[in-house]
Amino acid sequence: MNLKQHLQDKVFALLSETADELGLEAYIIGGYVRDILLQRPSKDIDVVVVGSGIEMAKAFSHKLGKGAFLSVFKTYGTAQVKKKNIEVEFVGARSESYNRDSRNPIVSEGTLQDDQNRRDFTVNALALCLNKDRFGELVDPFGGLADMEAKILRTPLDPDITFSDDPLRMMRAVRFASQLQFTIYPETFDAICRNCDRIEIITKERIIDEFNKIMRSAKPSIGLMLLEQSGLLAKIFPELDRLKGVEKRGERAHKDVFLHTLKVLDSVAEKSDDLWLRWGALLHDIGKPASKQWDDEHGWTFRNHNYLGQRMVPGIFKRLKLPLGEPMKFVQKMVDLHMRPIVLSEDEVTDSAVRRLLFDAGDDIDSLMLLCECDITSANREKVKRFSDNFNLVRIKLKELEERDRIRNFQPPVDGIEIMQIFGIEPSNIIGELKSIIKDAILDGEIPNEHDSAKELLIKIAAERGLKPMHNS
């Protein structure tokens, strides 16, 4: 099969010229070939060279001219060339062998076939020739094109060897299944199950990179279900794995928290590309196993699971090598506050309660409301409609109060410096106490969020504590 029509861009003509001038066989291989056949956007071009990939990279960089940037990685025998929107990776064709206790391969020069043999999946072993006499010719020794048409992920060689040699390929299989919505071939999936313990030799950084790609897919539940079914989830994310299952007492049972979590996550993914909001959805009920109790009157309860969950977040982020700054704080906030709008939607929506929600959520209020709406997964349509209608009331209240009271990212109308100046006092606990009373009065709607009203209340409550202004004001 000749696929010249997919190689019309000038960069491929230049690559072809470079290879022929050097007398080297060169092929585009891997994800770029897969993605153009799937009509998916792809910008990273991988070129395998039968010979020196570094030599071809240098020549190609020179041919691109001014503005081309060459990076050489001699240890790995690879090179990269960048210029504006062009990005090409070069590697010499190689064969690989592995020691059981190491992910690092023993590498030697090889043929194109050797290089295709070491690829993770048949759909990633497809190669397009760049040389002029065979330009655009597809080299497909493992039936990758047929697998692509059938939407199947299969390893080129023995899957047990493939996954034992490089256990990260198991995560990649799940990731591709989730991204492409392909099915993992039964023999391949069985090998993942048999080799799941091998994932322990892979660094957390590489695992979480693949996990986040699953999280970014259109329907993350596909990948997460495969992780659970294969046994990988229990190895890499035991807290999430513990959400599985339903415990019954008599006729009373709670819903499967793991399946519920996947529904919420998919619902959020339909509405938002925000990775950290998706993490908020993934972890919103992570505290339920630790909080589960039986109540003779109410059945199974999960009191304070939001509080326990937000306390678990830093440990999870640290272990998985996720960022510990703002992303973690945002996820904590989502986990901690996710019950608040739901409680409001069940009860009468008071101004005070909405003000406090807005105060605590700040600029993340819209993300929180989206998460909470997605958290309604009941099969009872009337219940869902009631919740949705009440959520709309909460949203209206939020807008009205924000416009009127400016609670989002609240700043006290009377700050600590002004309090010290008014009463001629040094920094002390009473300043924080006075500010807290003013804040509560504003949130409860007792006074408007403005300076004069706040100062008037300040003078009053300070007098009750024996403080008088230094000057009449």
Q: What is the pLDDT of residues 252-266, one digit of tens each?
A: 555 788 999 999 999
pLDDT over 70 percentage in the chain: 88
Q: Give 277 or 354, the one with higher predicted confidence.
A: 277
CA-CA distance, 461 to 301, in Å (whole number)? Answer: 41
Q: Is the pLDDT of residue 372 over 80?
A: yes
Q: Is the pLDDT of residue 33 over 90?
A: yes
What domains can you pick out in the chain, each with its CATH number? 4-147 (3.30.460.10), 151-236 (1.10.110.30), 416-463 (no CATH)
pLDDT value of residue 128:
95
Q: Is the pLDDT of residue 87 over 80?
A: yes
pLDDT value of residue 368:
92
Residue pLDDT, tens place only, 148-162 = 999 999 999 999 999
With 0-12 CB in 10 A as exposed, 13-18 as middle and 19+ as buried, what is 63? middle
Q: Give 343 or 231, the one with higher predicted confidence.
A: 231
pLDDT value of residue 201:
92
Q: Is the pLDDT of residue 248 over 60?
A: no
pLDDT value of residue 237:
96
> 361 - beta bridge partners?
none
CA-CA distance, 44 to 282, in Å (whole number)? Answer: 30
pLDDT value of residue 419:
82
pLDDT value of residue 405:
60
Residue pLDDT, tens place only, 286-340 = 998 877 776 766 666 677 788 899 999 999 999 999 999 999 999 999 999 988 7
Q: What's the whole-number mean pLDDT along residues 27-55?
A: 90
Q: Which of 165-169, 271-275, 305-309, 451-455 has the lowest mean pLDDT?
A: 451-455
Amino acid at 312: M
pLDDT value of residue 451:
80
pLDDT value of residue 76:
79
Q: Is the pLDDT of residue 96 over 60?
A: yes
Residue pLDDT, tens place only, 198-215 = 999 999 999 999 999 999
| Most confident of the following: 38-42, 95-99, 107-111, 405-409 | 38-42
pLDDT value of residue 428:
83
Q: What's the whole-number mean pLDDT along residues 106-112?
A: 74
pLDDT value of residue 151:
96
> 109 - beta bridge partners?
94
Q: Are 43 and 87 in contact (CB under 8 A)?
A: yes
pLDDT over 90 percentage in the chain: 51
Q: Give 247 or 52, the one with higher predicted confidence.
A: 52
Residue pLDDT, tens place only, 373-427 = 888 876 667 767 777 777 777 777 777 776 666 666 667 777 788 888 888 888 8
| Most confident of the following: 1-5, 139-143, 390-394, 423-427 | 139-143
Q: Is the pLDDT of residue 7 over 70?
A: yes
pLDDT value of residue 40:
85
pLDDT value of residue 107:
61
pLDDT value of residue 174:
98
